[in-house]
A and B are shown apart, each in its own frame.
Chain A
Amino acid sequence: MFTKKQRRINWILVAVLLVLSIFFLFPVIWMLANSFKPDAAITSDMNTIAAFIPPAPGNGFFDNYISIITDTNFLRYMGNTLFYAAVLIILSIVVNGLAGYALAKIKFPFRDQWLMVIIMLLIVPTETVITIHFLIIAKAGLLNTIVGYILPLIVNPFNIFLFRQVFVSLPDDVYEAAQLDFCGPVKYFFTMVLPMSKTVVATVSVFTFLNVWNDYLWPSLVFTSSDLLTAQIGLNSITSNENTTMGQTLAVITLVTIPVIIIYSLFSKQIVEGVTSTGSKEG
């Protein structure tokens, strides 16, 4: 229930946000509209309102997309990236989840100091350790392999911390009850802890996906074979190619954006909850 005054403030807020979001949406709309046009049309529409209006569907409507799909490996790169993301989501949940569970619920020496170390790691930017990762992977002979790409990305202090914060508030007596119901610790983790913490699992999954999807530096260091490349690298090589038209560039950027938009619209609620909640209202 809102008072009259609150309701008026709400309306003002909505109006401001609407204007702001239009500003943010303009480039996206422009990109989408022009990705269906040949370059000549893009140039001629420039500086007119037509720049934001897609052409009438008809002959050649999908030409830019078709040429991207048929002339380049871009779909394959997208497939690669989706595959890496899927593998990393599963590994992230298992590895960081187990670590977070240990830090939350299992008693061992120096547990709290360990947690402090992990929290301190949060402030280390990935770029500073990437050389070391690269050297290790190179020494291990894992350059240009999927394993070499995935290995350093599995452990993530932020995810460990997120899991730990949620697991710490899980009630102990549920674990005790489960023990008396013949449920061992491993089964407990996968069939009880994770389902009881759906929100944080969703959050970590989304973050992991976005990290993998948007990362450029690490895959460009590890991968040289074009079979294994990721979408971001593909995007870069396509757009920096002299023969690529403006319309094709916009089409490939649109393709790269689609999964991100899908993921955000599906999980935005969970992401906000996962980052803000303590997990205590799981019931």
Chain B
Amino acid sequence: MSFIEFKNVCKMYPGSKVNTVDNFNLNIEEKEFIAFVGPSGCGKSTTLRMMAGFEEITGGELYIDGKKVNDVAPRDRGIAMVFQNYALYPHMTVEKNIGYGLKNMKMPAEEIKKKVDWAIHILGLEEYRYRKPKNLSGGQRQRVALGRAIVKNQKLFLMDEPLSNLDAKLRVSMRTEISKLHRELGATTVYVTHDQVEAMTMADRIVIMKDGIVQQVGKPMELYDHPVNQFVAGFIGSPQMNFFDVDVNGNNVRFADGSNITLSAATAEKLKGHQGMMTLGIRGEDIKVIGPDRKADADTENVLTAVITDTEVMGNENNLYFSFGGCQAVARVSKYEIAQIGDRISFTFVPSKLHFFDKDTGINFMEME
């Protein structure tokens, strides 16, 4: 049995007619770092709060450490949680905030002190020990919240968008800090975020949700390279994957503007049962720009052309925006391949990186068995 098992877990809020979380199934192994991602309102927090016991589970079963917890009070579930708004005790000092749970566990005072010292030390809060939360910055408050979670030695950490109130730079450094803590403590962690970069960089596995339904569960690169549907493909990765409306006929792909490319035999084989109008997806870095004026030497057949409408210079790489086949697209190129707005570029799609999605269901035909 896995450490945590969701079995068809559902949540219907009172007064609502639909499940906010619908048939959630997931196994989480011990010491895993799992990220829930998805757009706002997709049910991430609801799911996490059902794990914590703050929301009633209205259908299905949830097991933590082999024990069914549907009706177990939050305090008895063996969890520690980090809240989006920190939820510190405003009238207590940093030290008291961190030690409060231990005090209620009736731990002897000298042991509490040892643990609090340890947490304060690894979180670098020594200077702020006797301050109250209102005299701390956002990052410091979030570290206190982390401290409060880690001293209790719980086996499961739940975090609901813990970094969303911090500025970009602090977010990056706290990201590293949380990852480091996870490696050192080895507690199973479920981390809710709407930021796919956070999920990609921190998680062992990512759960992508939409409208209360799990879309895909997998390792970050699995989701990136093999999205099961158009939603996952579009959600993971920045800039977003490019999508074009195409007409597939055998090994021929026709774009809305009349340009054509020819599919490799392997790709055409996978698309055998699926012909006609569909959506082609390709990531920006899988668009190979051949040059502003040069005609391609090799593979002349599949060379396409477009005019650059916008550029984004990032420093380490550049994004070239162009309009093609009736859709806006972006190519990611190295910093040496600068092009100007108005330049005409030639490019090819890396054949093995093409995705084809059903127009209605969004299913990725390339990932179907």
A residues adjacent to B (C-beta < 8 A): 171, 173-174, 176-183, 187, 192, 195-196, 198, 282-283
B residues adjacent to A (C-beta < 8 A): 52, 54, 73-75, 79-81, 83-85, 87-91, 100-101, 104-105, 133-134, 148, 152
Q: Do A173 and B75 touch across chains, with their CB atoms under 8 A apart? A: no
A220 to B45, CA, bound (A): 59
Q: Do B90 and A282 touch across chains, with their CB atoms under 8 A apart? A: yes
Given A183-B104, A283-B133, A178–B83 Cβ distance below 8 Å? no
Given A182-B75, A182-B104, A182-B105, A177–B90 Cβ distance below 8 Å? no
Q: Report the 7 A-B pairs with minimum CB-CB distance, sorted nearest first.
A: A181-B101, A283-B134, A182-B104, A173-B87, A177-B87, A195-B91, A173-B83
Out of A171, A177, A182, A187, which one reaches B81, CB within 8 Å?
Answer: A177
Q: Which of A178, A180, A187, A196 has its CB near the most chain B CB atoms (within 10 A)?
A: A180
Chain A residues near B79 (CB, 8 Å)?
A: 180
Nearest chain B CB to A36 CB, angstrom units: 46
Q: List 30 A-B contacts (CB under 8 A).
A: A171-B85, A173-B83, A174-B87, A174-B89, A176-B52, A176-B74, A176-B81, A177-B81, A177-B87, A177-B88, A177-B89, A178-B89, A178-B100, A179-B73, A179-B74, A179-B75, A180-B74, A180-B81, A180-B101, A181-B100, A181-B101, A181-B152, A182-B101, A182-B104, A183-B104, A195-B91, A196-B89, A196-B90, A283-B133, A283-B134
Q: Do A192 and B104 touch across chains, with their CB atoms under 8 A apart? A: no
A sample of 13 more A-B contacts (CB under 8 A), given A173-B87, A174-B90, A182-B104, is A176-B52, A177-B88, A177-B148, A179-B73, A180-B52, A180-B80, A181-B148, A187-B104, A192-B89, A192-B91, A195-B91, A196-B91, A283-B134
Q: Do A176 and B54 touch across chains, with their CB atoms under 8 A apart? A: yes
Chain B residues near A173 (CB, 8 Å)?
A: 83-85, 87
Q: Do B104 and A181 touch across chains, with their CB atoms under 8 A apart? A: yes
A182 to B79, CA, bound (A): 11
Chain A residues near B100 (CB, 8 Å)?
A: 178, 181, 183
Main secondary structure of the interface of A (DSSP, over half): helix
Chain A residues near B54 (CB, 8 Å)?
A: 176
Nearest chain A CB to B90 CB, angstrom units: 5
Chain A residues near B81 (CB, 8 Å)?
A: 176-177, 180
A77 to B101, CA, bound (A): 47
Nearest chain A CB to B300 CB, angstrom units: 61
A176's nearest neighbour on chain B, judged by CB, is: B54
A183's nearest neighbour on chain B, judged by CB, is: B104
A195 to B101, CA, bound (A): 18
Nearest chain B CB to A128 CB, angstrom units: 40
Q: Do A171 and B87 touch across chains, with their CB atoms under 8 A apart? A: yes
Chain B residues near A192 (CB, 8 Å)?
A: 89, 91
B160's nearest neighbour on chain A, judged by CB, is: A173
Nearest chain B CB to A167 CB, angstrom units: 14
A181 to B82, CA, bound (A): 12
Nearest chain B CB to A247 CB, angstrom units: 49
A269 to B283, CA, bound (A): 62
Chain A residues near B87 (CB, 8 Å)?
A: 171, 173-174, 176-177
Chain A residues near B152 (CB, 8 Å)?
A: 181
Chain B residues near A176 (CB, 8 Å)?
A: 52, 54, 74, 81, 83, 87
B83's nearest neighbour on chain A, judged by CB, is: A173
A170's nearest neighbour on chain B, judged by CB, is: B90
Chain B residues near A180 (CB, 8 Å)?
A: 52, 74-75, 79-81, 101
Q: Which of A171, A177, A178 has its CB near the most chain B CB atoms (within 10 A)?
A: A177
A177 to B89, CA, bound (A): 9
Chain A residues near B148 (CB, 8 Å)?
A: 177, 181
A192 to B90, CA, bound (A): 9
Nearest chain B CB to A181 CB, angstrom units: 4
Nearest chain A CB to B58 CB, angstrom units: 16
Chain A residues near B133 (CB, 8 Å)?
A: 283
Q: Which of B84, B85, B100, B133 has its CB near the most chain A CB atoms (within 10 A)?
A: B100
Chain A residues near B52 (CB, 8 Å)?
A: 176, 180
B106's nearest neighbour on chain A, judged by CB, is: A182
Out of B73, B83, B91, B134, which one reaches A177, CB within 8 Å?
Answer: B83
Chain B residues near A187 (CB, 8 Å)?
A: 104
A38 to B290, CA, bound (A): 112
Q: Which of A173, A195, A198 has its CB near the most chain B CB atoms (within 10 A)?
A: A173
B133's nearest neighbour on chain A, judged by CB, is: A283
Chain A residues near B75 (CB, 8 Å)?
A: 179-180, 182
Chain B residues near A182 (CB, 8 Å)?
A: 75, 101, 104-105
A181's nearest neighbour on chain B, judged by CB, is: B101
Chain A residues near B80 (CB, 8 Å)?
A: 180
Chain A residues near B89 (CB, 8 Å)?
A: 174, 177-178, 192, 196
